[in-house]
Amino acid sequence: MSIEQQVREYILENLLFSSDNATLANDDSLLEKGIIDSTGVLELIFFLEQQFGIKVHDAELIPENFDSLNNIVQFVQKKQTAN
Partner 1 sequence: MQERPQRLLHDGLRASAERSPAKTAVVVEGVPHTYAELSDSARRLAHALQQRGVQRGDRVAVYMDNTWPCVVSVFAVLLAGGVFLVINPQTKPDKLEFILRDSDARLLLTDAHLAGVFMTVLPRLEQPIAVICSGKLPPAQGVPVESYDDVLRSSPPLADPVPSIALDLAALIYTSGSTGDPKGVMQTHQSMVFAAESLIEYLRLSEDHRLLCVLPLAFDYGLYQLLMAVRLGATLVLERSFTYAAAVMQRMREHNVTVFPGVPTIFAMLLSAHGREKLCFPSITRVTNTAAALPDDYVPKLREIFPNALIYKMYGLTECKRVCYLEPELVDAKPGSVGKAIPGTEVFLLSPEGQPVPAGEVGILHVRGPHVMLGYWKRPDLSAQMLKPGRLPGERVLCTHDHFRMDREGFLFFVGRSDDIIKTRGEKVSPVEVENVLHGIDGIREAAVVGVPDELLGQAVRAYVVLEPGTALDEKKIRARCLARLENFMVPRDIVICPALPKTATGKISKRALLQQTA
Smallest gap, in angstroms, from Cβ of residue 40 to partner 1? 8
Closest by CA to 66, choosing from 81, 50, 45, is: 45
Which candidate, 2, 11, 56, places its Cα nearest to that of 30? 11
User: Between 2 and 17, whose beta carbon lies closer to partner 1?
Assistant: 17
Binds partner 1 by CB under 8 A, chosen from 4, 10, 31, 74: 31
Those residues with Cβ within 8 angstroms of residue 11's Cβ, 6 or more apart along the chain or in another chain = 24, 30, 35, 44, 69
- Please pick, from the candidates 5, 18, 21, 26, the single residue that binds partner 1 as defined by CB under 8 A: 18
For the window 42-61, what string marks contact with partner 1 as x by the rule CB under 8 A?
A: x--------------xxxxx
